[in-house]
């Protein structure tokens, strides 16, 4: 049976909190914390201790996960080494890669290849491990994408995405001359009954959605904006900027009249990421691809 283990040596500035409090701070899900306790699968300095036990600097925690801890424990992406993986950051638990334009994040059917997860699977197979999806970027969106190297950090990272301790910054070219320097778009996003491929503001099953934008500069009636998300809805940036009156350049869904030849101009430029099981925060930048101009031509 496959098991996953993690050893953490607590740092010199480790606060005097309990094992339970530390696991909670690391975003280990409550159900798995209970499994650790019932199965005595968390050891402090080599010995099982109640999770109320206080920690001190230099203590060693050993955690063991079993397949039953996860809804989906195994990853079965077909390895595809046809394209090299542009790795921006890597540690024992995750990689951050620079996603290419026109490549899907993950397959939609078993056996499919040619996606970022297939390329990651081929890369990680050399380490004898599997790739796990954390989040996704639209096919034509480029930039920083987090991929997990084991199943146990996936729920931790997903929680960080939900509570926005993982901060993602995007760059986008939009149509029109935005005169204001910054703003906030607060517009719920729901389904579009007329087109399942798209979403609409205040559509059925709408959920809160907030986007912060900042103007960088304007060139030939197109504006470069920097954006941060307070929520993570499908097509949020694309739909919110259209709702504001400035649809993205080259967006085939929300700006079909745009005839920009290189397609959608949306780039996940940076991720600020709390590193699991540590107190460290890592900022990872993704270089602009050749298809994303610093200045649009006429």
Domains (range + CATH), the chain:
4-69 (3.10.290.10), 87-163 (3.30.2350.10), 168-268 (3.30.2350.10)
- Residue 296 or 66, more confident: 66
Q: What is the pLDDT of residue 131?
A: 97
Q: What is the mean pLDDT of residues 18-41?
A: 96
Q: What percent of the chain shows pLDDT beyond 90? A: 86
Average pLDDT over residues 207-220: 94
Q: What is the band of 84 on the pLDDT scale with cuts at 50, 70, 90?
A: very high
The string of pLDDT tens digits covering residues 227-238 is 999 888 999 999
Active-site residue among 80, 138, 140, 251? Answer: 138
Residues 167-189, mean pLDDT to the nearest whole number: 96
pLDDT for the residue 246? 97
pLDDT at 298 exceeding the cut of 60: no
Q: How many CB atoms lie within 10 A of CB 56?
A: 12
DSSP string, 224-293: EEEEEESS--TTHHHHHHHHHT-PBTT-TTT-TT---TT---EEEEEEEEEPTTSS-EEEEE-PPPTTS-
Condensed to tens digits (0 to 9), the pLDDT of residues 278-292 reads 989 999 999 999 889
Local confidence band at 74 (pLDDT 50, 70, 90 cut-offs): confident
Q: Give the pLDDT confidence of 89-115 residue by residue, as tens digits.
A: 999 999 999 999 999 999 988 888 999
Nearest to 199 by CA among 228, 165, 237: 237
Tell me what pLDDT residue 261 has: 77
Active site residue 138: yes
Structure tokens at 138: 């639209």
Q: What is the spatial distance between Cα 72 and Cα 45, in angstroms, rounded to a whole number?
A: 30
Average pLDDT of span 132-156: 95
Q: Residue 295 pLDDT > 90, yes or no?
A: no
Phi and psi angles of residue 207, each rounded to the nearest 5 degrees, phi first: -125, 150
3-class state of residue 220 by DSSP: coil
Question: How would you write 62-129 as a 3-class SS string?
Answer: EEEECHHHCCCCCCCCCCCCCCCCCEEEECCCEEEEEECCCCCCCCCCCCCCCCHHHHHHHHHHCCCC
The residue whose two tokens read 């290189």 is 262
CA distances from 251 to 33, 49, 194, 262 (A): 44, 55, 18, 10
Query: What is the pLDDT at residue 33?
Result: 96
* Phi then psi dihedrals of residue 160, to 5 deg: -65, -35
Helix and strand tally (H, E) in the chain?
5, 16
Alpha carbon of residue 45 to chain centroid: 33
Is 113 within 8 Å of 80 (Cβ atoms)? Answer: yes
Give 243's contacts (C-beta < 8 A, 6+ positions apart): 185, 187, 201
pLDDT of 157 > 70? The answer is: yes
What's the mean pLDDT in 65-85?
Answer: 91
For the whole prediction, is pTM greater than 0.85? yes
Least confident of 53-57, 67-71, 213-217: 67-71
Give the pLDDT of residue 103: 95
Can you give the pLDDT at residue 7?
Answer: 98
pLDDT of residue 297: 60
Task: Encode pLDDT of 243-278 as tens digits.
Answer: 999 999 999 999 998 878 788 999 999 999 999 999
Q: In the predicted model, what is the mean pLDDT of the chain?
A: 94
pLDDT for 14:
95
Q: Is the pLDDT of residue 87 over 60?
A: yes
Tell me the pairing of strands 132-133 and 222-229: unpaired
């Amino acid at each position: 049976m496959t098991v996953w283990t993690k050893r953490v040596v607590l740092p010199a500035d480790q606060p005097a909190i309990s094992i339970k409090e530390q696991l909670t701070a690391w975003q280990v899900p409550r159900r798995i914390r209970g499994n650790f306790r019932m199965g005595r699968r968390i050891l402090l300095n080599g010995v099982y201790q109640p999770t109320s036990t206080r920690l001190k600097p230099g203590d060693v925690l050993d955690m063991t996960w079993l397949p039953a801890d996860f809804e989906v424990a195994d990853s079965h992406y077909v390895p595809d080494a046809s394209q090299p993986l542009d790795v921006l950051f890597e540690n024992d638990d995750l990689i951050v890669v620079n996603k290419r334009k026109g490549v899907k994040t993950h397959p939609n059917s078993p056996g499919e290849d040619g996606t970022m997860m297939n390329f990651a699977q081929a890369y990680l197979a050399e380490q004898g491990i599997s790739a796990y999806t954390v989040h996704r970027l639209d096919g034509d969106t480029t930039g920083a994408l987090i991929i997990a190297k084991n199943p146990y950090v996936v729920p931790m990272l997903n929680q960080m995405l939900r509570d926005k301790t993982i901060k993602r910054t995007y760059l986008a070219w939009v149509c029109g001359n935005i005169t204001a320097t910054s703003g906030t778009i607060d517009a719920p996003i729901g389904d579009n009954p007329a087109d399942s491929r798209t979403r609409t503001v205040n559509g059925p099953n709408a959920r809160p959605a907030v986007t912060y934008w900042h103007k960088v500069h304007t060139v030939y009636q197109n504006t470069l904006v920097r954006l941060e998300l307070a929520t993570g809805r499908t097509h949020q940036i694309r739909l919110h900027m259209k709702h504001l009156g400035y649809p993205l350049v080259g967006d085939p869904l929300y700006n079909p009249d745009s005839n920009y030849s290189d397609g959608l101009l949306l780039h996940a430029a940076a991720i600020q990421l709390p590193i699991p099981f540590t107190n460290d925060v890592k900022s990872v930048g993704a270089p602009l691809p050749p298809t994303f101009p610093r200045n649009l031509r006429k």
